[in-house]
Structure 1
Amino acid sequence: MRLPTKQLINKIEHLSKDLSPAQLGRFLDIIDAMTALVEDAATVDLGHDKNAKSSEQSTSSVIH
């Protein structure tokens, strides 16, 4: 489920009202880590995966 940015911010603000300061700190650490993962994923070159798959498919078709 993907939410528009404003709706996501509203949900996070609503959730954060019920968290203790320690819980909020951990929650924000998780959000920060997820953001870093998304940014890293955006820079991954998936071009080499396609080549590996076509090699596997070629080998598979030869075996059959």
Structure 2
Amino acid sequence: MTPEVIGTFVKSSYSGQNNNCVEIADTVNNGRAVRDSKDQRGPHLTFTYGAWQAFLLGVKRQEFDC
């Protein structure tokens, strides 16, 4: 079962007026939901708290840089 989104979806202030961004919201289980800003009524992905923390750590370590 997909955790309920309890927060408002927000996008980074670095995005400016672009609509080519992801938006993030809190979920009921302390995880995060992520969606495409161009398709706000479309599907979203959900991540557990642990998975979200692992992703953030990977970003900080530049593991996803090309």
So what's the TM-score if we normalise by structure 2?
A: 0.31
* Greater radius of gyration (CA): 1
Which of the two has greater helix per residue?
A: 1
Relative CO higher for 1 or 2, CA cutoff 8 Å, sep ≥ 6? 2
Which of the two has greater strand per residue?
A: 2
